[in-house]
Every structure is written in structure tokens, then in C-alpha cells.
């Protein structure tokens, strides 16, 4: 296979709702490009893109798939993506690696949930979008309704460049506004025949052409001047304006296709090569030094890994984009993330699981490496002498969590290895081995997302597992000051154990000074503040440890042992066994024995004195609270807010953004279990949300009582 030059490469991501026809369109593009001799079908389970058993079983794409299709003298790199929101990590990584989105809109259903979600991702990443209204030969096709919905949801930059003649089962022709011709496809699809526009369609075609000329002129100031002067643009000026307008997201051209019958696909491919964004049309990425890295074939060789995967019989595959220079077989490179050396023994261009070996690739091209040692998603590989790093793929935060364990205790190590490989392939799955909760917590994008993960554990890794409700990482603290003392005394022949500790504890707040006077149970206690340790806790908050010992009642060498005993109880609070935080401890008195006192004695005395004081200091459970941002259609906002309030949520504000209402709220993590499933049910799948940790806050007293009872019941069972 020949090496394509940078200006011959076009990179697109197929976007759209599940079922809109992305995989079928990809099949037609590969057929038209000569990559395959026969088009597969979803029902036949033989498409190039959906080649994994779980995709055959579910009947839709679950992973992004890298493909290519030659067209004329160009190479179109294509990444087919899943349409379900649970798998949007594949959409985001694919858009990171490509220059344009090709979004399919169902001619029967119009703009669906997945279409809106994918468009938001492209918008956030500032990627151009080309539309194709697909399935125009379906008996229930409604082209005009689909266009109306697109303009309503995606804005006034949606511009028709085609409209169908006789949509429905008799569809074979479109009016092409750019060519100002009618295109008619033979029954078996492929190349279209051009003819003059029939009289009954001329008026509409001329109106759309005038609107398109005006849109093209808006993309450049010089073209606007020409347009105002001549009231039109030449064909060359029109082409220039279209290219600029698409790259700037000022024009979203709309085509008409039937991917199933290969109608219109060749015209879309032609347009992508002629007017779709070139590798050099979009802003150059910025490296770790803040410098732009232009896709210059003569620059230093540098590639960015946007996806890693495991393939049966092959092992790990790393999919990359050449950011600069040229990569060739047996090139030695350095991984800028871990300084590891790699040799690029083999380079492939990919069509699903089929890989074609190539000798090299130029800047802008997309391909794959196999058998690299320490390279993963988001890593950058550079030729020696360059130390660039590119911004990582901005994967979404997890929205759904569950605990998991193997059915057989002997499979624990196997499960850990399998989860590690799954997370490597899909970075939106996060694995947390929680010492605090004594659970393995899996974080993902939704319930379906993690059910697919579990399918892999059952069928690929042969590990039977079960999901469990995840525990909540509560924290414990105190709300008032308390005093306690404890004497540890043990005598059993020979040297004994003796240690006595007196302490006061109080709530700690940032910036509050240590106190020299305390009033406990009506009794005033004056302290002499000597040494002070401020200990940031790994689980959040602080412990302030103040030495107030005077007169040598406790030797200084025993103070660290007392602190060690306190820390042991901080790691296991008395209410729920959760970590304690934000407490100030004053050790102000005690006793020791010249022979029997030792470190273990004072550790136990400090531990028990702290435990007693904690229970007398009005202890309180704190719960993690998350900031939640929900984008919801206005007609469902009331239902969403009502549901949030039922989850003890506090609505912070509302705003509008591109046709959606944005609700911001704070909600306890304990109330967010399976929220993605509930939100989808409430809004018909049209809302999306994100969440991030905000703070720990005190739980209401009734909730605290139920949490404590549940903990005590579980402790009894264990």
C-alpha cells in the first residue's frame, strides 16, 4: 500500500444515534474504496466494523473501530463509533484523533438522543460536522421533518446541499445544490449519473443555492466584499468559502444517503476529499511546552496514542495519529510519559480486525502498532531529540459505580488482572481497590456500560462475578469539646505495662487557633501549649496534635506512641467504622512508671482515651456530596428537579445552553446510585449529566440513625 502525503489524508469520525446506520455507511465507504469486495450487514453479523462477539450478540456498535477507504488519490481514515451514551469514551477519543465528524441523522426518526449527545461532544471539541440524512428510501422517511429538527437542535448553520427526489421506497435521485444537477443511482448503488434538474425542482434548488452562496461568503471577509459587489461568487470562490466555513463550524452541510443501498455514499466521499477539513485546516495542537506542533511531514517524528486495545491471538494494539514528521518501520522512538524506548517494528493501516502492513506514514495519518512494551492510551512517542507530550484525551468522569467480587474466592487475583486489562482498553472504566470500604469499586458511564464489562469477565476471561451495592465512604467527626482520661495497667510477672493519658478533643476548623482555656462539664481547664503537629489526613481533613505536658508527667519519648494510638482510632471511627477527620487533640496530663511504662502502654492509653472522648463529643457522620450538572430538555426540567429533591439534592441554579436547560445541584453520593438509569427513564434518554466531588457534609439525624443501624446489623452478621 502506498504512503499517502499529508495533503491527501482526510480523517473523519462517524457520529449519530445507535441505529442511524453508521456501521452500514462505513461498509459502503470501504466497498466504494475497494477495501472490501462485498458489503456486510448488521443482521448478517459480518461487517468490518462490528467484528466482536458482544457486538454481534447485542446488534450494535460498542467500541470505536478504525477503518480506511481510498478515494481517487486520497485516503479517508474513518473511525466508526458507538451511538449509546454509555460508550461515549470511544466517541471522544475518536474526535480527538480526527478532524471532522460525519453525523448520520435518521430520515424516519430525525434528531435522536445520540445525535444530540455526539453533536455536543463535537461542539465542545470545536470539530467541524458534516451531516447525512440516512435511510431516505425507507417507507416512513420524512426528510423535511428531519431538516426542521436539525435546524431547531443544531442551529442556523445547518445548510442543505442536497434534497431528495421521490423519497421513500422509490428513492434513487437527489438534487445536488453544489453541482446544480440531479444525481441518480443505479439500483445496486455506486456511482451516480448526472442530469439536468427537472423543472419542478429548479426554484427550490436556486433558493438553496443562493442561501449556500451567502453562507460561503460569510466565512471570509474578502468573500463578503465580493458577494456584496457581485451578489454571487464564482465556483472557485464558492469552494474556498465552503472549505473555510466548514472548518470554522460556520457551515454544517447536509447530504442525503441510503447507506443500505449505497445511494449517495460516493458523493459524500467526494465532498469529504474536496471540501472536508484537511489535516492542516484546523488549529495545530499545543505540546507540553506550549508550542504549536504543525502536521509538517519534514518535522520531527511524533505520534499520539489515542486508543489501546487487546486482540485475540495478537495481544495489545495501539492506535495512533502521526502528529509530526514521518514514522517508518524499525524507527526507534522514546515514550515521553515513561522515558521507555520502543522500536516500531511494524506499522499497519486498519480496517477493523484486518490490518495492512505499510512501510511508513506521514503527518496526519492514522494507523496502529503491535507489540509495544510500555505504551498506552494518551502516551506520546517521539524520535530521539524531541520530548513532546500532547494533551490527553479528556474522557468523561464516571457517573455510575458498583462493587464487584468473584463468586469463587480463588479468582480474586485473576479478577484484578482482568479488570486492569479492561480499564486499559476503556479508560472510562475506573477500578478502585478501596481499603476503606473493603470492596473493589468499578466506576463507569452507566449500568449498561458495566454490564458489558461483566459480559467480558464471564465470556472472555472466564471469571464468574457478582455486582454488589457499593458502600458509601462516610467520614466521622465531632461537634463539641470533650475530655477523657485512661489508665492502662497490666502486671503479669516481670516487667508490667503502665501508662496514663489525659486529653481534651474538639472540632477543628481551618484557621481556628489552639485554645489555652477549656470549659468541660462546668469545669475550667487551663493548658500550656508547647509543641503542635498539624497532620493532613490521606482521606481528607486534618488532625491537630497539641502537646500540653508540663512538669514531666509524661516523658517526651512517649508522645509519638500516644499519637499512634490516636491515629489507629482515627482510621476506624466508632459510629460506622469510617475514617475520622477534623479533630484537635490536646494531651495535657498523665502518669508514667519508672519501670513499667513503655511505648505500647502509652499507645493503648492514648487510643482508649481518644475513643472515650470521641463518643462524648457529639460525634457526627459526614457524607460525600457531589456537584451534579444536568443538561435536560425544557419540557422535562420539572420532572428532573422533582427527582433531585427526592434525592436530598439542593438545586444551585439553572441556565440555558444551546436549546437545553442546565440544572446545577449538589446531591449526596448515597442518593446517586443508578441515577443514570433513572434520568434516562425520566427524560426518554435525552438528558446527560456529569458529576464531581464537592465536599463532605453532615448527614441529617434520621439518615445518621439509619446508617448506624445498617452498620451495626452488618457487623453482627460478620
Mean pLDDT, residues 387-406: 94
Sign of CA dihedral 258, 263, 264, 270: positive
**Per-residue pLDDT band at 150 (split at 50, 70, 90):** very high
Separation of alpha carbons 325 and 618, rounded Å = 66
Rounded to the nearest 10 degrees, what angle do helices 235-247 and 265-275 cross at? 90
**Per-residue pLDDT band at 2 (split at 50, 70, 90):** confident
Mean pLDDT, residues 391-402: 92
pLDDT at 149: 94
Separation of alpha carbons 654 and 656, rounded Å = 7
Separation of alpha carbons 477 and 362, rounded Å = 59
pLDDT at 508: 96
pLDDT at 658: 67
In this model, does residue 116 exceed pLDDT 70?
yes
Query: How far is residue 8 CA from its own chain's centroid?
Result: 31
β-strands 100-106, 579-580 pairing: unpaired
The secondary structure element, H or E, covering residue 599 is helix 599-615
DSSP letters for 243-257: HHHHHTTS-EEEEEE
Q: pLDDT exceeding 90 applies to what percent of the chain?
A: 83
Among residues 668, 688, 637, the alpha carbon closest in space to that of 399 is found at 688
pLDDT at 714: 80
- What are the grid coordinates assigned to 643, written together? 427527582
Within 10 angstroms of residue 238's Cβ, the number of other Cβ atoms is 19
- What are the grid coordinates assigned to 308, written together? 489501546
DSSP 518: E
Within 10 angstroms of residue 432's Cβ, the number of other Cβ atoms is 17
- What are the grid coordinates assigned to 102, written together? 460525519
pLDDT at 190: 81
Contacts of 701 (CB under 8 A, 6+ apart): none
Mean pLDDT, residues 582-605: 94
Mean pLDDT, residues 380-393: 95
Contact between 439 and 470 under an 8 Å Cβ cutoff? The reply is: yes
pLDDT at 718: 65
Separation of alpha carbons 151 and 133, rounded Å = 13
**Secondary structure (3-state) at 32:** helix
Separation of alpha carbons 196 and 203, rounded Å = 13
Within 10 angstroms of residue 570's Cβ, the number of other Cβ atoms is 23
Torsion of CA 313, 316, 319, 320, to 10 degrees: -130
In this model, does residue 493 exceed pLDDT 70?
no
**Whole-number average pLDDT of the chain:** 93
Among residues 574, 644, 642, the alpha carbon closest in space to that of 607 is found at 574
β-strands 173-176, 583-591 pairing: unpaired
690 forms bridges with which residues in the sheet? 629
In this model, does residue 659 exceed pLDDT 90?
no
Separation of alpha carbons 182 and 172, rounded Å = 10
Q: What is the largest CA-CA distance in the chain?
A: 114
The secondary structure element, H or E, covering residue 205 is helix 199-217
In this model, does residue 601 exceed pLDDT 90?
yes
Tens of pLDDT, residue by residue over 196-246, are: 999 999 999 999 999 999 999 998 888 888 888 888 888 888 889 999 999
Range scoring the smallest mean pLDDT among 254-263, 350-359, 515-524, 584-593: 515-524
In this model, does residue 494 exceed pLDDT 80?
no
Among residues 676, 670, 640, 691, the alpha carbon closest in space to that of 449 is found at 676
In this model, does residue 7 exceed pLDDT 90?
yes
Separation of alpha carbons 465 and 450, rounded Å = 12
Tens of pLDDT, residue by residue over 309-335, are: 988 878 899 999 999 999 999 999 999
Residue located via cell numbers 465507504: 29
Mean pLDDT, residues 58-70: 94
Domains of the chain by start residue, with CATH: 6-213+249-275 (3.40.50.300), 302-382 (2.40.30.10), 400-468 (3.30.70.870), 476-617 (3.30.230.10), 622-707 (3.30.70.240)
Among residues 425, 246, 419, 215, the alpha carbon closest in space to that of 319 is found at 425
The secondary structure element, H or E, covering residue 406 is strand 400-406
**Per-residue pLDDT band at 645 (split at 50, 70, 90):** very high
Mean pLDDT, residues 685-703: 90
In this model, does residue 249 exceed pLDDT 90?
yes
Separation of alpha carbons 558 and 564, rounded Å = 10
Contact between 279 and 6 under an 8 Å Cβ cutoff? The reply is: yes
Tens of pLDDT, residue by residue over 435-467, are: 889 999 999 999 999 999 999 999 999 999 999
- pTM of the full structure: 0.87
Amino acid at each position: 500500500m502506498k504512503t499517502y502525503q499529508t495533503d491527501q489524508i482526510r480523517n473523519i469520525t462517524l457520529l449519530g444515534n445507535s441505529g442511524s446506520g453508521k456501521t452500514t455507511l462505513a461498509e459502503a465507504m470501504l466497498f466504494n474504496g475497494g477495501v472490501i469486495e462485498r458489503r456486510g450487514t448488521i443482521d448478517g453479523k459480518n461487517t468490518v466494523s462490528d467484528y466482536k462477539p458482544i457486538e454481534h450478540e447485542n446488534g450494535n456498535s460498542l467500541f470505536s473501530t478504525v477503518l480506511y477507504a481510498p478515494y481517487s488519490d486520497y485516503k479517508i481514515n474513518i473511525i466508526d463509533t458507538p451511538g449509546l451514551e454509555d460508550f461515549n469514551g470511544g466517541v471522544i477519543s475518536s474526535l480527538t484523533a480526527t478532524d471532522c465528524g460525519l453525523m448520520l441523522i435518521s430520515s424516519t426518526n430525525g434528531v435522536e438522543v445520540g445525535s444530540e449527545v455526539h453533536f455536543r461532544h463535537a461542539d465542545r471539541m470545536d470539530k467541524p460536522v458534516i451531516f447525512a440524512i440516512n435511510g431516505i428510501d425507507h417507507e416512513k422517511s420524512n426528510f423535511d421533518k428531519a431538516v426542521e429538527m436539525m435546524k431547531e437542535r443544531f442551529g442556523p448553520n445547518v445548510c442543505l446541499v442536497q434534497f431528495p427526489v421521490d423519497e421513500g421506497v422509490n428513492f434513487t435521485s437527489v438534487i445536488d445544490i453544489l453541482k446544480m444537477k440531479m444525481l441518480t443511482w443505479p439500483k445496486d448503488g455506486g456511482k451516480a449519473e448526472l442530469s439536468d434538474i427537472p423543472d419542478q425542482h429548479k426554484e427550490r434548488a436556486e433558493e438553496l443555492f443562493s442561501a449556500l452562496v451567502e453562507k460561503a461568503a460569510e466565512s471570509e471577509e474578502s468573500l463578503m466584499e465580493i458577494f456584496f459587489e457581485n451578489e454571487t461568487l464564482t465556483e472557485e470562490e464558492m469552494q474556498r468559502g465552503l472549505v473555510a466555513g466548514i472548518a470554522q463550524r460556520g457551515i454544517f452541510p447536509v447530504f442525503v444517503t441510503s447507506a443500505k443501498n449505497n445511494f449517495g455514499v460516493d458523493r459524500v466521499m467526494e465532498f469529504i476529499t474536496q471540501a472536508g477539513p484537511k489535516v492542516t485546516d484546523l488549529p495545530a495542537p499545543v505540546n507540553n511546552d506550549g508550542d504549536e506542533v504543525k502536521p509538517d511531514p519534514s518535522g520531527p517524528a511524533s505520534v499520539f496514542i489515542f486508543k489501546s486495545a487487546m486482540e485475540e491471538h495478537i495481544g495489545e494494539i495501539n492506535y495512533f495519529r502521526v502528529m509530526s514528521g514521518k514514522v517508518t518501520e524499525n524507527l526507534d522512538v522514546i515514550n515521553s510519559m515513561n522515558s521507555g524506548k520502543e522500536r516500531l517494528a511494524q506499522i499497519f493501516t486498519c480496517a477493523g480486525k484486518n490490518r495492512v502492513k505499510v512501510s511508513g506514514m506521514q503527518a496526519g495519518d492514522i494507523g496502529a502498532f503491535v507489540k509495544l512494551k510500555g505504551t498506552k492510551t494518551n502516551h506520546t512517542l517521539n524520535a530521539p531529540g524531541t520530548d513532546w507530550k500532547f494533551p490527553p484525551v479528556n474522557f468523561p468522569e464516571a457517573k455510575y459505580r458498583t462493587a464487584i467480587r468473584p463468586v469463587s474466592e480463588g479468582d480474586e487475583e485473576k479478577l484484578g488482572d482482568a479488570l486492569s486489562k479492561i480499564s486499559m482498553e476503556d479508560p472510562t472504566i475506573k477500578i478502585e481497590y478501596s481499603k476503606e470500604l473493603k470492596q473493589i469499586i468499578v466506576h463507569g458511564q452507566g449500568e449498561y456500560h458495566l454490564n458489558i464489562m461483566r459480559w467480558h469477565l464471564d465470556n472472555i476471561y472466564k471469571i464468574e462475578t457478582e455486582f454488589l451495592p457499593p458502600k458509601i465512604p462516610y467520614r466521622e467527626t465531632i461537634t463539641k469539646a470533650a475530655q477523657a482520661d485512661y489508665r492502662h495497667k497490666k502486671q503479669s510477672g516481670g516487667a508490667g505495662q503502665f501508662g496514663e493519658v489525659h486529653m481534651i478533643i474538639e472540632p477543628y476548623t481551618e484557621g481556628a487557633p489552639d485554645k489555652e482555656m477549656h470549659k468541660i462539664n462546668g469545669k475550667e481547664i487551663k493548658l500550656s501549649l508547647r509543641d503542635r503537629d498539624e497532620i493532613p489526613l490521606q482521606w481528607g481533613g486534618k488532625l491537630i496534635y497539641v502537646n500540653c505536658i508540663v512538669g514531666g508527667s509524661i516523658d517526651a519519648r512517649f508522645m509519638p506512641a500516644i499519637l499512634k494510638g490516636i491515629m489507629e482510632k482515627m482510621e476506624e471511627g466508632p459510629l460506622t467504622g469510617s475514617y475520622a477527620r477534623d479533630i484537635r487533640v490536646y494531651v495535657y496530663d498523665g502518669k508514667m512508671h519508672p519501670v513499667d511504662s513503655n511505648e505500647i502502654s502509652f499507645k493503648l492509653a492514648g487510643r482508649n482515651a481518644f475513643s472515650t472522648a470521641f463518643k462524648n463529643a457529639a460525634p457526627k457522620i459526614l457524607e460525600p456530596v457531589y456537584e451534579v450538572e444536568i443538561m435536560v430538555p425544557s419540557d422535562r426540567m420539572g420532572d428532573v428537579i422533582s427527582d433531585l429533591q427526592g434525592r436530598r439534592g439542593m438545586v444551585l441554579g439553572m441556565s440555558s445552553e444551546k436549546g437545553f436547560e442546565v440544572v446545577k445541584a449538589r446531591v449526596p453520593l448515597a442518593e446517586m446510585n443508578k441515577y443514570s438509569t433513572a434520568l434516562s427513564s425520566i427524560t426518554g434518554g435525552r438528558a446527560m449529566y456529569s458529576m464531581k466531588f464537592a465536599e463532605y457534609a453532615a448527614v441529617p439525624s434520621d439518615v445518621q440513625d439509619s446508617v448506624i443501624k445498617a452498620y451495626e446489623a452488618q457487623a453482627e452478621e460478620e
